[in-house]
Amino acid sequence: MPVADFPGTHNWGYDGVSLFATARCYGAPDDLRRLVNTVHHHGLAVVLDVVYNHFGPDGAYGFAFSPFYASTRHANPRGAAVNFDGEHATHVRTFVMENALHWLHEYHLDGLRFDATHAIHDDTGRHIIAEVAAHARASIAHRDLLLVAEDERNLAAIVRPVADGGWGLTAVWADDFHHISRRISAGDHDGYYQDYSDDARDLAATIGRGWFYTGQRSAYSGALRGTDPAGITPEHLVTCLQNHDQTGNRAFGERLHHQIDAAMFRALTSVLLCAHETPLLFMGQEWAASTPFLFFTDHNAELGRLVTEGRRGEFSRFAAFQDEAQRSRIPDPQATTTFDESRLRWPERVRVDHAAMLTFYRTLLHLRQSDPAFRQTPLCEATAPDEHTVIIRRPAPSGELLMVARLRGQGTVDISRWVTSSEHARWSVVLTS
């Protein structure tokens, strides 16, 4: 089943106020419990985003109780790194493990999504997230937990079983799919996008392997990136076309469908939802929401000023923002309008253009859930007959499924190599965009 990305539930993050408290702007603890119960009633699971890689720059009152929460050995660009391997780290590790159990026990959540595990520094013999996962599963053995890592390293150990030396998590984000898709469709080439081509054959290879970088050198970082995902079944890898970070970190919060035409967006959506990895949908993506998702904050005036300056300064290395006047157009994270403009406009779902996209998503999701080619096996074959086209073939005894997505340009595609040719084979169109 696909997973949904709805940002903003756990209130640590930048603020770091209290790991055990629900944010008052979302309601009281019982409000969250009612929300979880209601979602469960509709047959859906709830996974909470937890931030254990840094303390925020404002309101991190844990330091008032002990200086040992912050690491003196490691740094984190978003705030003080958490002390998981220094003096008195045992108590900090226990504190974090108990925090994870608190959310799972007290609110009956179905799992946790661990923010930026690549930024969690731990030089002990057992990584803190692996320990949290084992502790949580031992404590809540009566139900399956969904434990997911956001990690940019393409690190296969995260989802390998503990018996094989892994962390034993349920899934890990596989960002290469997103990056190649944006390079192909929107032409992004700054920053880490320089590591990717606009060739559909690379996208097909990424689907086939699970991620593109399996140990090659990254031009962006100058270091080797990725590990071999061999043996990892694809449902353990989470792919997307959009998420809250990739959208919110853009200067003007543009969603992918704001920057490419609807035909290409539908084609990429077909690739995402027909591939064998677990797809993630960002809120509003399914109806091509008109609203941006901007970077917004609510700090005190002095810190807010520094955040605004820093936010705009970050873009100075991008070609489009070399000019200071251009950088000044980037919305102020502290402005109330920046937050308000990011709210979804739910009534627009019934407008013709948005309703058509919503119908397209619903049809693909129903196909993914009901067609035997998806239900009988998680595996598919992905290939690219040329640099503009991706073909996904899902074999099944009861009838295979073939998805052909022309991502760019006009023309026909010869699919004869990928279709079964026998007197008993009968093909029919299931869906076309």
Choose the catalytic residue: 15, 150, 195, 245: 150
Q: What percent of the residues of the chain are helix, what percent strand, and what percent coil, each to the nearest 5?
A: 40, 15, 45
Q: Is residue 373 part of a domain?
A: yes
Dihedral sign for Cα 199, 203, 209, 213, please: positive
Quote the number of domains for the chain: 1
Q: How far is CA 263 from CA 200, 209, 268, 270, 357, in A?
A: 16, 26, 9, 11, 10
150 is catalytic: yes
pTM: 0.94
Q: What is the CATH number of the domain that holds 224?
A: 3.20.20.80
Using 50, 70 and 90 to split pLDDT, how confident is the model at 375? confident
Listed residue (409, 408, 406) closest to 270, CA to CA: 406
From 141-145, 309-313, 419-423, the region with the lowest mean pLDDT:
419-423
With 70 as the cut, is the pLDDT of residue 338 above it?
yes
From 123-137, 271-285, 332-346, 389-403, the region with the lowest mean pLDDT:
389-403
With 70 as the cut, is the pLDDT of residue 61 above it?
yes
* pLDDT one-digit tens code per residue, 158-203: 999 999 999 999 999 999 999 999 999 999 998 999 999 999 999 9
Domain, as residue range, for 314: 3-379
Q: Is residue 407 part of a domain?
A: no
With 60 as the cut, is the pLDDT of residue 290 above it?
yes
Q: Is residue 413 part of a domain?
A: no
* pLDDT one-digit tens code per residue, 268-282: 999 999 999 999 999
pLDDT of residue 279: 97
What is d(CA 349, CA 356) in angstroms, rounded to the nearest whole number? 9
115 is catalytic: yes
* CB contact at 8 A, 254 and 262: no
From 8-12, 245-249, 308-312, 420-424, the region with the lowest mean pLDDT:
8-12
Choose the catalytic residue: 115, 122, 176, 400: 115
Q: Is residue 384 part of a domain?
A: no
Question: Which tokens is 285 given?
Answer: 């993506």
* 130: Cα separation from own chain's centroid: 20
Eight-state DSSP code of residue 348: G
What is d(CA 161, CA 125) in angstroms, rounded to the nearest whole number? 16
* 309: Cα separation from own chain's centroid: 27
* 296 exposure class (CB count in 10 Å sphere: 0-12, 13-18, 19+): buried
Mean pLDDT for the stretch of residues 364-371: 94
Q: Is residue 433 part of a domain?
A: no
